[in-house]
Amino acid sequence: MSGDSVDRARAHESGAGNRRAVRDSGRGGSGTVELPVEGDLAAGTIVLEEATRRFSVRADRGRTLKEMLLRRNREDDGGPAPVTALRDVTLRIEPGETVGIVGRNGAGKSSTLRVLAGIIPLNRGRVSTSGKIVSLLEVGAGFGRDFSGRENVFLNGALHGLGRREIEAQMEAIVEFSELGHFIDAPVKTYSSGMFLRLGFAIAAHLEADILLIDEVLAVGDEAFQRKCEARIAAQIEAGATLVLVSHDAALIERTCERVVVLDGGGVSYDGPCGPGMAFYHELMGTPVAE
Amino acid sequence: MPREPLRYRYLFEQMVRRELRQKYKGSALGVLWYLVNPLVLMGAYTVMFTYVLKTRFEPPIHDYALFVLVGIVTWNFFQQAVLGAATSLLDQGALVRKALFPRETIPGTVVSVQLATFVTILGLILPIVVIVHGSLSGWLILLPFYVFALFVFALGLGLGAAVLHAYFRDVAPILGAAFLPWFFVTPIFYRASNFPGAAHHAWLKSVLRWVNPMAPFIEGIRSVTFDGAWPGWATTGYVVAMSVGVFAGGLWLFRRLAGELAVVV
């Protein structure tokens, strides 16, 4: 298992041999909360401390220089306030844990994943992760449409920071896992959405992650391939990887996750074992499951 | 943002390949299309100034068509690199929103692919220029240096334009509009000394030569190719300082604003 940590924006590596990547949010100043950082994090650990992230949802916000100049002297004209996607979220996930994040639409699930992946910075609080993160947030993001499936494996592996030789070493396994057969050499613009998923997941599943972040993408696969993905994920967890999965598929969560985090309105309203967690979730959603 | 350029070198290679493929759709003749525009412009300016307006340049410019051609292909590289980079982050929005990698790769790819096109075109036209115009000289060895300096300059502007355009969607159109007048005040189809009034007003010539940062790049590249002459220390020093300065500024701005890119794109 590769143990190199993923460097992040404004990450500071503290001390030699320390594989922790810590991101402080806010550009210094008032917003930053200083929390005591514990010692070395083992690869696969995720720590969120009082993480807060707001998004502006003003459709008419000055998105051009012209508007900015025109509106400079005008007061706010009463658009919706920024949405707080994450509100003081504190989570600690240990290596090898399997965590399902559930909640209604807009509860902050995808934002949480994108924060963990380091794509979105926090307004306040801190996120620390250790080890190699592989995220599958959108299948086919970054696929070159005129490229063959095989060429896209190289492109996608490169996006995760791999070199040519590392990707070549995994190529046969990826092609086999995807079951794309001779389609692997056809341009991906001819692929169906299921084939996209097969290729995207096959790549992500062979990157030897310490932390796997998966956002509601497995649903497009057929049942057999879904099971295969689950088995592959299980094998990676067996090997010590951490899984964070966002899904609306309660059965999938119950099959794959031991721990459930229910997000509501950007905050954690439940964090604990899967069984009671899903019961809580169904109650919250008003969809109790009849036994 | 990861700051591990070496680790992501292979990504850059892959993105350049993808961009080249999408641009030329696998056709080896694709790059020739990039010659059509400069050749048409060359013809138009030559007809205009030589036959219609019967312009007398002082001193006269022999092989005027080739003189114009060198300037135009240089300008085209610059303009296409900067404007292409400006919209690149939005063009690659899906990647920016969903994957973590050094964002500099995206505008860097666009400018690099334009450089490849530029170098190919220079390879096609320069043998004709130096043979027909008889200007082959040892100064030609400075060409890679000048081309590289222009590349760094365009990359710096491209990085700045790309990140600003992600926040303010009218940056690219404003730039596009600015490039047209900029083209005409850049000594491309004339020399700075030919500009009306420049012969009598030394300051006007100085303004044309030194206030417009593109002028020394064009003059330098034209000097070592079309003129077969040393461009002078002033021009050489200017392009070094300008490219380093603009690149540093562009990269600083880019990194300062890159954190929120996944949100604003």
Q: A62 pLDDT band (50/70/90 cuts)?
A: low
Residues 77-106 (B) with a CB less than 8 A from some CB of A: 92, 94-95, 97-101
Per DSSP, helices labelled H in chain B are 9-24, 33-46, 64-91, 93-98, 105-132, 143-167, 171-185, 202-206, 214-222, 233-257, 261-264
CB-based contact A142 B258, cutoff 8 Å: no
User: Can you give the C-alpha Rg of chain B in angstroms?
Assistant: 19
pLDDT at A58 (0 to 100): 62
pLDDT along chain B (265 residues), means of 10: 66 88 72 83 88 83 92 96 96 86 94 94 93 92 97 98 94 95 93 81 87 96 95 96 98 94 87
Dump pLDDT digits (tens) for A144-199.
777 899 989 998 888 888 889 999 999 999 999 999 999 999 999 899 888 988 89
Locate the chain A residue with the closest alpha carbon to B91.
A142
pLDDT at A244 (0 to 100): 95
Is residue B27 within 8 angstroms of chain A, CB to CB? Answer: no
- The answer, yes or no, to whether ipTM is higher than 0.85 is no
Tracing tokens 């051009």 back to the chain, one arrives at A64
Q: For chain A, how many structural domains are there in total?
A: 1
Average pLDDT, chain A: 80
Tracing tokens 């056709």 back to the chain, one arrives at B27
Structure tokens that stand for B227 in this block? 């003129």
In a domain, A146, yes or no: yes
CB-based contact A161 B15, cutoff 8 Å: no
Nearest to A64 among B15, B95, B170 (CB): B170
In a domain, A174, yes or no: yes
Domain that holds residue A173: 134-207
Locate the chain B residue with the closest alpha carbon to A6.
B2
Dump pLDDT digits (tens) for A240-275.
899 999 988 888 899 899 999 999 988 999 999 999
In a domain, A43, yes or no: no
In a domain, A39, yes or no: no
* Residue of A220 and A77 predicted with greater confidence: A220
Nearest to A141 among B11, B98, B167 (CB): B98
* Residue of B167 and A59 predicted with greater confidence: B167
Using alpha carbons, select from B159, B65, B145 the residue that is nearest to residue B112.
Answer: B159
Locate the chain B residue with the closest alpha carbon to A55.
B263
pLDDT at B7 (0 to 100): 77
Give me the DSSP letters along A188-216. GGG--HHHHHHHHHHHHHTS--SEEEEES
In a domain, A44, yes or no: no
In a domain, A143, yes or no: yes
In a domain, A72, yes or no: no
Rounded to two decimals, what is the model's pTM?
Answer: 0.85
Mean pLDDT of A226-251: 90
Q: How far apart are the first and last CA of chain A?
A: 42
Nearest to A63 among B13, B22, B168 (CB): B168
Instruction: Yes or no: say if B208 and B115 are a contact pair by the CB < 8 Å rule.
Output: no
Pairing relation of β-strands A83-93 and A46-55? antiparallel
Least confidently predicted of A49-58, A63-72, B37-46, B145-154 = A63-72
Is residue A65 within 8 angstroms of chain B, CB to CB? Answer: yes
In a domain, A145, yes or no: yes
Q: A223 pLDDT band (50/70/90 cuts)?
A: confident
% of chain A exceeding 70 in pLDDT: 79
pLDDT at A145 (0 to 100): 78
pLDDT at A38 (0 to 100): 52
